[in-house]
């Protein structure tokens, strides 16, 4: 039975598949396990595509025998690495000079902020790339600064592969074991994602408050 037939048959007792899930099923229907890999590669390039939907869905499809569990894990991990490499190359092409040119023209920020960020990445870049592959939102974006800072490509590839494999195995296995309840994974990961978003927003707001206070203090003392 095809991937689409398997998943749609299971969905009849819950709700009709649509959106990202329907699109991912269509890719797997057309391409098999490589379709799941392509979906994850695109998810890396377009973060609004949720891996927490695609990966469990690939695991569930594997549980139905459409392709093997090893194929699901292997192809999705290959897709993750491919998408990350594309973003790494984007960072390389942008380069530090262009980054500084843009940064100097942004309001409220200072060149020293960027220099400190670069210093931090020089010390913790390897951990950032590895663990960043397991954090929603950052899992895609972390590849760009790695390219900007010209992290050795072999090192970047190995760290990305390791981090992506952990993330993908976790969610593919969840879909494989949950079976027709694969969609429950998204509910739990959604909470984690909102926690990350809230932390980023609060951090940005706190930084903005501190920066505005510093600017006002500088103007008063001047």
Q: What gap in Å lies between CA 50 and CA 20, rounded to an integer? A: 8
Residue 31 has pLDDT above 60, yes or no: yes
218, part of any domain = no
Residue 13 has pLDDT above 60, yes or no: no
Q: What are the tens digits of pLDDT across the range 184-220?
A: 776 666 666 677 667 767 877 886 777 777 777 777 7
Stated pTM of the model: 0.77
Question: Both tokens of residue 52?
Answer: 């927490």
Q: What are the tens digits of pLDDT across the range 34-73?
A: 988 998 998 888 866 777 888 888 888 888 888 899 999 9
Categorize the per-residue pLDDT at 5 as very low, low, confident or very high, splitting at 50, 70 and 90.
low
Q: What gap in Å lies between CA 130 and CA 142, rounded to an integer? A: 9
Residue of higher predicted confidence among 191 and 112 = 112
216, part of any domain = no
217, part of any domain = no
Categorize the per-residue pLDDT at 164 as very low, low, confident or very high, splitting at 50, 70 and 90.
very high
Q: Which residues contact 26 (CB under 8 A, 6 or more apart)?
A: 4
Please tell me the predicted confidence (pLDDT) of residue 116: 79
51, part of any domain = yes
Q: What gap in Å lies between CA 23 and CA 38, rounded to an integer? A: 11
219, part of any domain = no
Please tell me the predicted confidence (pLDDT) of residue 23: 81
- The residue count for the chain: 222
Question: Both tokens of residue 55?
Answer: 């990966």
**Mean pLDDT for the chain overall:** 80
Categorize the per-residue pLDDT at 15 as very low, low, confident or very high, splitting at 50, 70 and 90.
very low
159, part of any domain = yes
Q: What gap in Å lies between CA 141 and CA 130, rounded to an integer? A: 12
Please tell me the predicted confidence (pLDDT) of residue 169: 93
203, part of any domain = no
Q: How many domains does the chain have?
A: 1
Q: What are the tens digits of pLDDT across the range 68-93?
A: 999 999 999 999 999 999 999 999 99
Are residues 67 and 154 in contact, defined by beta-carbon separation less than 8 angstroms? no
Q: Which domain holds residue 141?
A: 3-183
How far CA 93 is from CA of 57, 62, 128, 148, 157, in Å, comes to: 34, 38, 21, 8, 17
> Which of 10-14, 26-30, 32-36 has the highest average model confidence (pLDDT)?
32-36
190, part of any domain = no
What is the mean predicted confidence (pLDDT) over 110-137?
Answer: 84
Instruction: Give 176: exposed, middle or buried? Use CB within 10 Å, 0-12, 13-18, 19+.
Output: buried
């Amino acid at each position: 039975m095809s991937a689409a037939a398997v998943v749609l048959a299971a969905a009849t007792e819950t709700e009709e598949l649509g959106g990202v899930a329907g699109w991912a099923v269509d890719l797997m229907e057309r391409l098999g396990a490589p379709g799941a890999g392509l979906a994850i590669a695109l998810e890396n390039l377009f973060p609004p595509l949720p891996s927490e939907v695609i990966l469990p869905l690939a695991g569930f499809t594997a549980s139905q025998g459409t392709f093997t569990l090893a194929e699901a894990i292997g192809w999705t991990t290959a897709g993750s690495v491919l998408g990350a490499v594309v973003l790494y190359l984007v960072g390389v092409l942008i380069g530090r000079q262009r980054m500084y040119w843009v940064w100097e023209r942004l309001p409220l920020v200072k060149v020293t902020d960027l220099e400190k960020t670069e210093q931090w990445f020089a010390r913790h870049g390897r951990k950032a790339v590895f663990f960043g592959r397991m954090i929603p939102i950052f899992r895609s974006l972390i590849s760009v600064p790695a390219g900007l800072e010209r992290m050795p490509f072999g090192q970047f590839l190995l760290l990305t592969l390791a981090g992506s494999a952990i993330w993908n195995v976790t969610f593919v296995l969840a879909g494989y074991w949950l079976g027709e309840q694969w969609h429950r994974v998204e509910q739990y990961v959604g909470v984690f994602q909102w926690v990350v978003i809230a932390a980023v927003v609060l951090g940005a707001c706190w930084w903005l408050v501190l920066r505005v206070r510093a600017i006002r203090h500088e103007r008063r003392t001047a």
